[in-house]
């Protein structure tokens, strides 16, 4: 065979080999792309977070992330949301896990819901120090009502300018609850007596109290009754013990006390919520919070969802949740449109989370 022909044949084989090599490279690239597409598709359909990311309608996306965080107990998933949606998400996970530390993320996302989260755990555990994680004004409100709810006198130190009112209110509450007259000496004589009077009226609804309630109509003309007098009188009336009347400073008040105190009997009178609402105006910086709490109390007492509907969004959610928890009726949760808060409400109703 001529040398020239051999050379051409060899060149042809080399070109054929090169074409086959390029073709194999092309097939490898195509195969890699196909495999990558399959893996990506599998990842999208099996990764729940990615599924939520792919949801187009925002309200559905919120529900997706909120439900995923709640069902898995993974609070970090809430970070895919923002504002009140993120805060409600963190709150529901905190409630489910009974983990107050998660509330700090709710505070960062939306302070009112974060504050509600902290106050929930303060009331549940009696740990007033949790209030320290809140901004100044919210911390004072949290400490005041947390102290009153837990009857913790030392907690009043966090109540800021309302510390004296807090100390007197808690002392009064303890005096009535424990039926111990000596707590009355912790009640400042200068404490707003209208606010104190309504704490007394509210206390008669407590399980351990049979107090008959107090009206200013019995006060002798020209006598300015003090908050401490009201405390002594209420405990005397609570116990049906006329001997305590001698602890009042003036004979004219002692005479009035003897007339008012009678053997103890259960009270059938209802709480006057109109009077309580009026008294809230004397609660200083806590006036708005006081009104909200009174309205929620009235809504729960009367099973009246219409009262809840008059409150702002966060307070109304708290109102519906309190109704559901108190009566263990999840139907009240149906008024809550936010999926995360709704889930927390249902959990609270089913398991009575605050008990």
Asked if residues 54 and 73 have their Cβ atoms less than 8 Å apart, the reply is no
Grade residue 276 by pLDDT with cuts at 50, 70 and 90.
low
From the list 280, 283, 354, the residue with the least C-alpha distance to 324 is 354
Query: What does the pLDDT look like over 186-216, one tens digit per residue?
Result: 787 666 656 666 666 555 444 333 333 444 4
**Sign of the CA dihedral running 288, 292, 298, 304:** positive
3-state secondary structure of 248: coil
Query: What does the pLDDT look like over 80-105, one tens digit per residue?
Result: 998 888 998 999 999 999 999 999 99
Asked if residues 210 and 201 have their Cβ atoms less than 8 Å apart, the reply is no
Query: What does the pLDDT look like over 278-316, one tens digit per residue?
Result: 766 765 666 776 677 778 878 887 889 999 999 988 888
Angle in degrees, CA 123, 235, 180, rounded to 5 = 65
Angle in degrees, CA 300, 301, 303, rounded to 5 = 55
Q: How far apart are CA 338 and CA 343, in angstroms?
A: 9
Angle in degrees, CA 302, 148, 246, rounded to 5 = 100
Grade residue 265 by pLDDT with cuts at 50, 70 and 90.
very low
* CB half-sphere exposure, 162, CA atoms < 13 A: 25
Q: How far apart are CA 163 and CA 139, in angstroms?
A: 12
From the list 20, 341, 287, 89, the residue with the least C-alpha distance to 295 is 287
b vs e for 127-141, b when ≥16 Cβ sit within 10 Å of the residue's Cβ? bbebbebbeeebbbb
Is the pTM here over 0.85, yes or no?
Answer: no
Asked if residues 292 and 145 have their Cβ atoms less than 8 Å apart, the reply is no
3-state secondary structure of 319: helix
Per the structure block, which two tokens stand in for 4?
Answer: 């020239």
Asked if residues 177 and 206 have their Cβ atoms less than 8 Å apart, the reply is yes
């Amino acid at each position: 065979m001529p040398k020239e022909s051999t050379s051409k044949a060899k060149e042809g084989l080399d070109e054929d080999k090169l074409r086959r090599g390029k073709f194999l490279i092309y097939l490898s690239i195509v195969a890699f792309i196909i495999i990558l597409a399959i893996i990506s598709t599998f990842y999208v359909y099996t990764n729940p977070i990615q599924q939520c990311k792919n949801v187009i309608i925002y309200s559905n996306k919120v529900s997706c992330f909120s439900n995923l965080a709640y069902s898995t107990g993974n609070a970090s998933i809430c970070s895919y949301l923002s504002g009140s949606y993120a805060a409600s998400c963190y709150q529901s996970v905190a409630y489910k896990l009974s983990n107050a530390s998660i509330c700090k993320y709710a505070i960062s996302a939306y302070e009112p819901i974060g504050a509600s989260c902290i106050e929930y755990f303060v009331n549940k555990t009696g740990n007033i120090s949790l209030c320290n994680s809140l901004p100044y004004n919210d911390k004072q409100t949290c400490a005041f009502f947390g102290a009153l709810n837990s009857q913790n006198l030392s907690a009043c130190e966090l109540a800021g300018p309302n510390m004296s009112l807090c100390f007197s209110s808690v002392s009064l509450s303890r005096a009535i609850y424990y039926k111990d007259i000596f707590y009355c000496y912790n009640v400042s004589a200068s404490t707003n007596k209208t606010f104190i009077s309504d704490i007394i009226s509210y206390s008669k609804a407590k399980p351990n109290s049979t107090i008959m309630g107090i009206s200013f109509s019995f006060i002798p003309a020209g006598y300015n009754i003090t908050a401490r007098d009201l405390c002594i009188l209420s405990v005397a009336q609570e116990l049906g013990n006329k001997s305590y009347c001698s602890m009042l400073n003036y004979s004219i008040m002692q005479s009035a006390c003897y007339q008012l105190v009678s053997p103890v009997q259960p009270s059938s009178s209802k709480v006057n919520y109109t009077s309580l609402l009026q008294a809230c105006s004397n609660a200083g910086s806590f006036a708005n919070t006081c009104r909200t709490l009174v309205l929620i109390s009235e809504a729960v007492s009367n099973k009246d969802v219409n009262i809840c509907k008059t409150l702002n969004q966060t307070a109304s959610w708290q109102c519906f949740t309190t109704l559901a928890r108190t009566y263990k009726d999840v139907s009240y949760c149906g008024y809550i449109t936010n999926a995360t808060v709704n889930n927390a409400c249902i959990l609270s109703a089913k398991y009575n989370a605050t008990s």
